[in-house]
Amino acid sequence: MVHVAVIGAYGSAGAAVAGELADEPDVELTLVDDGDPGGGLCILRGCMPSKEVLSAAAHRYRARVDDRLVGAPPDVDLEAVVERKDDHTLDWAAHRRAGVEGYAERDDVTFLRGTARFVDGHTLAVGDRTVEPDYVVVATGSSVNVPDLPGIEDVDYLTSADVLDATAFPDSAVVMGFGYIGMELVPYVAEAGGTDVTVVEHDERPLDEADPAFGDALLDVYERDFTVDVRRNSYEQRVEPTADGGVRLHLDGPDGAETVEAEALYLFTGRTPTLAGLGLENTPLSPGEGWVEPTLQARDAPHVFVPGDANGREQILHVAKEEGFTTAENVLRHARGEDLVEYHPTHHHVVFAGLGVYPYARVGHSVASAEAAGVDHVAVSRRAADDGVFKSKDAADGLATLVVDPDDGTVLGWQGLHYHADVMAKTMQVAVEMGLDARALPDRAYHPTTPEILDGLFRAAVEELEG
């Protein structure tokens, strides 16, 4: 009998491990979580509640910019938005908790509500109990990253969690962090709250994983359609409170020193692995660069596995789940003395930019990543405005790029920043992961919809390949 303890069983990674191991006949399973109410970041404070609130502002945005509609756009009832979001997320979280706790009805599965802490390399304390498992799965997720900026401890700041719960917004705000969290929530604060937002962008454009044209297109939409001012090539130097209760952020910009004053400061500065309080100092574990192997094993303790946000590799829901599945498989393989498998995910990201009206999605290679990897490729691009269906839906902004192998036509990657790009990501994941030939894909008849942009890309790629 192999005894496995999962710390953080309510989260996406931990629940995936538990689901895979609960019915294994030779596994004793101890599940631990201290969540209140518990249910995992994605359900309670991440992708699911954020899409809920974005959808309300998206309705207003689309009505506001459609010149076929007359009259003042409706206000967003923030109290109703938060109430519905809470109802839904609490239901989803309760379903997750019930599933995890239900595993404890099986033989050899125990659920412990509490905080787990390493007493030594092989022993965990949970409340007044100790557990000595053969394997430990650390699936403790992530927490808000507060940057080490002079003065940050002297000012009040708001995070993504505060935005999701907000029933009122300030008249003005300055935002630090323009990664996927900032790109999703900045237009929400502007649209739903009527807030003038100044964003600090360290580079010339956002969307670091994208080819430059996509970041430029996103900025065009944000600065045209929302009360958003993006300070490019700027870096935070220090922050201080103002006499009237606001904040003053000092920047080093392209033209030298400058300041931004606003009523509120939002930190959308990413997330960091939640490892404090685990007693790692009592173990050989030393978190840092490369501390978790591609097998999801901790480098310094082969009986410890770290899937999900806690390992700091890719803090994305579907990656956490897949890492959980791989962890469960590798625990069993290690116990049997078999070779472990490595987890190398296909690049598959979606950012619900532009309130989800203009999402960005990337699967596989971009042009830049193909060049950096030395991969021979042909790339073709297409603007959404070139397809009548986007015009008919009054959503003609954006573009898409397809990357293919010049010899055999294999689809190597795709990017889209346009209406419904998020929905098309699954189709393109299939094309990339199955290594489909772009020459076999064009002109398959279907009712005209926004995926016509994909057919346009396939046809353009074939012309390049055969030209």
359-466 CATH pick, 3.40.50.300, 3.30.390.30, 3.30.465.10, 3.40.50.720:
3.30.390.30
Q: What's the pLDDT score for residue 47?
A: 86
Question: Nearest 10 degrees: CA dihedral of 251, 253, 259, 263?
Answer: -80
Q: Where are the domains of the chain?
A: 2-143+272-336, 152-269, 359-466
Confidence of residue 3 (pLDDT cuts 50, 70, 90): very high
Q: Are 18 and 29 contacting, i.e. CB atoms less than 8 angstroms apart?
A: yes
Mean pLDDT of 148-155: 97
Q: What's the pLDDT score for residue 263?
A: 98
Question: Per mean pLDDT, which range of 298-307, 421-430, 445-454 is the poorest?
Answer: 445-454
- Tokens 């609130």 belong to 53
Q: Are 388 and 419 contacting, i.e. CB atoms less than 8 angstroms apart?
A: no
Whether pLDDT at 308 is above 90: yes
Q: Which helix (H) or strand (E) holds 32?
A: strand 27-33
Contacts of 431 (CB under 8 A, 6+ apart): 363, 411, 414, 441
Q: What's the pLDDT score for residue 293?
A: 97
CATH of domain 2-143+272-336: 3.50.50.60
Q: What's the pLDDT score for residue 467?
A: 75
d(CA 13, CA 144): 18
d(CA 406, CA 370): 12
d(CA 291, CA 392): 51
Whether pLDDT at 160 is above 80: yes
Nearest to 30 by CA among 59, 1, 51, 53: 1
Q: Which helix (H) or strand (E) holds 308?
A: none
* Tens-digit pLDDT profile for residues 312-361: 988 888 899 999 999 999 999 999 999 999 999 999 999 999 999 999 99
Q: What is the pTM of this model?
A: 0.94
Are the folds of 2-143+272-336 and 152-269 the same?
yes
Whether pLDDT at 36 is above 90: no
Domain 152-269 fold is FAD/NAD(P)-binding domain (3.50.50)
d(CA 120, CA 195): 50
* Tens-digit pLDDT profile for residues 166-179: 999 999 999 999 99
Q: What's the pLDDT score for residue 262?
A: 98
* Tens-digit pLDDT profile for residues 227-257: 999 999 999 999 999 999 999 999 999 999 9
Q: What's the pLDDT score for residue 247?
A: 98
Whether pLDDT at 411 is above 80: yes
Whether pLDDT at 445 is above 70: no
* Tens-digit pLDDT profile for residues 58-109: 999 999 999 999 999 999 999 999 999 999 999 999 999 999 999 999 989 9
Q: For Cα atoms 159, 163, 168, give the angle at the middle one, nearest 5 degrees.
A: 130
User: Residue 445 burial by CB count (10 A; 0-12/13-18/19+): exposed, middle or buried?
Assistant: exposed
* Tens-digit pLDDT profile for residues 260-286: 999 999 999 999 999 999 999 999 999
Whether pLDDT at 448 is above 80: no
Q: Are 13 and 37 contacting, i.e. CB atoms less than 8 angstroms apart?
A: no
Average pLDDT, the chain: 95
d(CA 252, CA 362): 32
Q: What's the pLDDT score for residue 137?
A: 98
Mean pLDDT of 395-414: 97
Q: What's the pLDDT score for residue 314?
A: 87
Report residue 465 as tokens.
């390949």
State percent of the chain over pLDDT 90: 90
